[in-house]
Chain A
Amino acid sequence: MTESKHVITMLVDNQPGVLARVVGLFSGRGFNIESLCVAETTSPEVSRITLVTTADPLVMEQIIKQLRKLINVIKVRDMDKSKAVQREMALICVRTKPEHRAEVLRIVDIFRGKIVDTGSEHYIIEVTGDEGKLTAIINLLKPIGIKKIARTGTVALFREPK
C-alpha cells in the first residue's frame, strides 16, 4: 500500500502530560511524526495539536483510532488538503555580503517575506506559506548561504463553508 502525507489536527485537554501521551503513542507504536505544533485555542482548557505524518491507509486508520482512544484527546481529524488552509512559518538567517543584499531582498519580495533583523553580515527573514513555498525559498537562499533556520511545522484549519 502506498504511503502518503497527512496533516492531523486535534483538540486536546490543555493539561500537563497530554503532549507526552500523543508523542508517546507515535513512538511506542512505530508511527512517525514529521512536524508537530501545539498551542492554546481560544479556550484556555483546550489546545490544538497539528501533526504531520506519512503513512499508508491502514496505518493512518490506526493512528486516528489510537489518538481517539486517548482520554485527553477531544477531537481528531485527518485534514484533506483541498478543504483546509495549511501554513508554516520559517525564520531564516542568511549570510549577506554586500554584493548579495539586493538579490536577497528580491527573493524576500517574491515570496512576500519580511526582513525582521539585520546586521552587517546577516538578515533574518520571516516567511510564511505552505510547505512547497518554504522549500522553494530555502532552495533559492542556500547558494547565498543560510546560517540558521527555524521552522514552525504545519498548522492548518478547515475552510468554513463559503
Chain B
Amino acid sequence: MENTEKTLTGAQILMTVLQEEGVDTIFGFPGGAVIDIYDELDRTPIRHILTRHEQAAVHAADGYARASGKVGVCLVTSGPGATNTVTGIASAYMDSIPLVVVTGQVPTSLIGNDAFQEVDIVGITRPCTKHNYLVKRTDDLSKVLKEAFHIARSGRPGPVLVDIPKDVAKGKAVYSRMDATQMKSYNPTYHPNMRQLEKVISLIQEAKRPMIFAGGGVILSKASAELTAFARKTQMPVTTSLMGMGAFPGTDSLCLGMLGMHGTYRANMATSACDLLIGVGVRFDDRVTGKTDAFASQAKIVHIDIDPTSIRKNVLVTLPLVGDCKITLQELNRMIERIDFGNIAEQRRDWLSQIAQWKETGALDYDQTTIIKPQYVVETLYRLTQGKAIITTEVGQNQMWAAQYYHFDEPDHFITSGGLGVMGFGLPAAIGAQIAQPEHLVVDIAGDGSIQMNIQEMATIRQYGLPVKIVILNNRYLGMVRQWQELFYDKRYSCTDMESAPDFVKLAEAYGALGLKATTPEEVESVLREGLAAPGAAIMDFWVDRQECVYPMVPAGAPITEMLLV
C-alpha cells in the first residue's frame, strides 16, 4: 500500500483510506447499495460492529469516538439506512463529535428517478453535518474521504457524511496515497490573538470574583490538565456545562458542579454574582443561561472557543478569543507563570467563602423514604464504582440525576447527548464506549422510557459479548415531561404515563443478560453489587419514586437565580 499508484475499486479505495486513517473499528448495517463495500470490508482486518438499527450505529460510533478520542465511523445503506442515521448525526453535530458516516446510494444513473431505496441524504443532512459529499466519480473518492476525515477531526469537530453510489463503489480508479489535505476554504484558527490574551490576564488581575465556565470544547481539545492548572494557579472556581462534566475534576474544592436549568445552587448563584466569567469551549446554550439578560449580569465575560459563530451568538462578551482551548490555556498558563498574584488565597477568601456558604445552603439533597429515590441509586453507583466508571445516559431525568450525583474527575467519562437530547442514545453509546475501552466499566444510566427507544441493541451487546451495565431508574413515567406537567401544567399528565413497561428482568434474560430488580432502598446496593460484579451484561431495574423531580430547577426562560429547590 505504499506510494505506488494502483488501480482499485471504489470499495477498495474506501477500505484503503479507512486503514490509512487508523480506523480499526466501524459500526454499521448492510444493505443493497453497500453490498460491494461490505464484500470488500470482509477482506480487511477492520472490525465491523453490526448494530440492530442504523441510528444505534451512529450513536455507538459517537460513544466510541468520545471514549477513544478517534474519529467514529459508520457504514449504512441507501434510503432508509441513510435516513435512520439522521438523529445520530444531528446529535453528534450539536455535541461536536468527529464522525465519518458513509452511506450507500443508488447508482448515479438512477439518482433523481425515485429509485428503490433512494433518498437525497446529502440534502437531508446538509444542516446537521459539518460537511457532506455525494461522490459522483470513483476518481474523486480518495480525495473526498481524506477531506472527510480532516474536516471531521479538525477545528470544531463534527460529523461528515459521504454518500457513495453503488457504481462508484464498483467502479475503478487509479489510487495513490495522499498524506496532506489542503483545503483553500477551510482553515480553523488554533492560535489565539496574543494581544487579546494579555487582556485576559489583566482582567483576571482586576477581578474580585472571577470564575471559569468550562464546556465540551475543553474535553474535545484534551485541555483538562491545562484547565486544572489554570484554575488552581488563579484560584478561580469552575462550573461546567453538561458537556463539560469531567473537564475539571468534579471532586476538586474549586468545582462548583453543573450550571444552568438543573445546575447546582452554588454554580448558578456564583455565575450571577461573579465579576469575571471566563467561558472556555462553551456555547452559552439556553439551558445554561436561562434568561440571557440576567445571565452573569455583573460580569465581564471572556469567551474562548475555536468556532467564531459560538461567540456573541447567545450572550454578549467583553473579550472574544477565537482559538483552540488547549493552545489558549497553555498560552495563558505560560503568561500567569510570570505573574506574581501575591497571596492569592487571601485575595479569594471572601469569594470562596461566599461560595462555600452557597454550597451549604443549597446542597443537592433528597428525602430518603421507604421508596427508592433515583438520586440514591446514582449516589450508590458512584460510591461502588469509586467514580471511575464511564457513564452514558439516556435523556431526561436520568441524565440530570447522573450529572448531579455522579462526580467525574476525568474527561471522556461522561457520555451524553447534550445538545440534541436524544432519548435512546445511552445504550448504543455504551456499546461504542465499551468497544473503545474493553477493560473499562461502562454503565448506561437510563430511564424506563428512553431505554426502550433502542432496546434492540441488547442483541448487539449479546453478539459481541459486551459487559455493558444498564441501570434503569424506572418510574413508569416519561419523567422529565411529567415533571414539567406537575410544575407548570397543573398536573395534567398528558400522555406521560408508561404504566405498561416490559418486565426488564425477563427482557434481559431474553437477550442472554443478567436481569435484576430492586423495589426497596435496602435492595439497591446489593442489586448494584451483583449486577456490576457479573461477568457479562446486566440490566438493573430500580423501581423508583414515581413522583420524584429533578431539583434545583430553573423554569425555562427565567434567570438562573430563580431556582425551585425541592
User: A residues touching B (Cβ–Cβ < 8 Å)?
Assistant: 13, 16-17, 20-21, 24-25, 28, 58, 61-62, 65-66, 68-69, 71-75
B122 pairs with A17, CB closer than 8 A: yes
Contacts of B186 in A (CB 8 A): 71
B338 at interface, CB cutoff 8 A: no
Contacts of B32 in A (CB 8 A): none
A20 pairs with B183, CB closer than 8 A: no
A71 pairs with B308, CB closer than 8 A: no
Most buried by B among A58, A65, A68, A73: A65
User: How many interface residues does chain B have, given as a range?
Assistant: 10 to 19
Contacts of B127 in A (CB 8 A): 24-25, 28
Contacts of A58 in B (CB 8 A): 312
B43 at interface, CB cutoff 8 A: no
Q: Which chain A residue shows the least CB distance to B133? A: A17
17 pairs across A/B with beta carbons < 8 Å?
A17-B122, A17-B134, A20-B126, A21-B126, A24-B126, A62-B309, A65-B308, A65-B309, A68-B308, A69-B307, A69-B308, A71-B186, A72-B185, A73-B185, A74-B184, A74-B185, A75-B185
B131 at interface, CB cutoff 8 A: yes
Chain B 108-146 per-residue mask, 1 if CB under 8 angstroms from chain A, else 0: 000000000000001100110011001000000000000
Most buried by A among B126, B127, B309, B312: B309
User: B residues touching A (Cβ–Cβ < 8 Å)?
Assistant: 122-123, 126-127, 130-131, 134, 151, 183-186, 307-309, 312-313
Contacts of A17 in B (CB 8 A): 122-123, 126, 134
B123 pairs with A20, CB closer than 8 A: yes
**Neighbour of B312 across the interface among A21, A61, A72, CB < 8 A:** A61
A66 pairs with B183, CB closer than 8 A: no
Q: Which chain B residue shows the least CB distance to A29? A: B127
Q: Tell me the complex Cα distance, A16–B313, Å.
A: 30
B134 pairs with A13, CB closer than 8 A: no
Q: Which chain A residue shows the least CB distance to B310? A: A65
A71 pairs with B183, CB closer than 8 A: yes
A66 pairs with B126, CB closer than 8 A: no
Contacts of B131 in A (CB 8 A): 71
Q: Tell me the complex Cα distance, A71–B147, Å.
A: 11
A71 pairs with B185, CB closer than 8 A: yes
Q: Tell me the complex Cα distance, A4–B120, Å.
A: 36
Contacts of A24 in B (CB 8 A): 126-127
Q: Tell me the complex Cα distance, A73–B187, Å.
A: 11
Contacts of B122 in A (CB 8 A): 17
Q: How far is the CB of A100 from chain B (nearest CB, A)?
A: 48
Q: How far is the CB of B148 from chain A (nearest CB, A)?
A: 11
Q: With A61-B312, A65-B309, A66-B309 given, is the CB distance from A71 to B151 under 8 Å?
A: yes
Q: Tell me the complex Cα distance, A17–B151, Å.
A: 18
B313 pairs with A62, CB closer than 8 A: yes
Q: How far is the CB of A69 from chain B (nearest CB, A)?
A: 6
Q: How far is the CB of B484 from chain A (nearest CB, A)?
A: 25
A69 pairs with B309, CB closer than 8 A: yes
Q: Tell me the complex Cα distance, A154–B123, Å.
A: 27
Q: How far is the CB of A103 from chain B (nearest CB, A)?
A: 50
Contacts of A61 in B (CB 8 A): 312
Q: Which chain B residue shows the least CB distance to A12? A: B185
Beyond A13-B185, A17-B126, A71-B186, 8 additional contacts (C-beta under 8 Å) are A16-B134, A17-B123, A21-B126, A24-B127, A28-B127, A66-B309, A69-B308, A71-B130
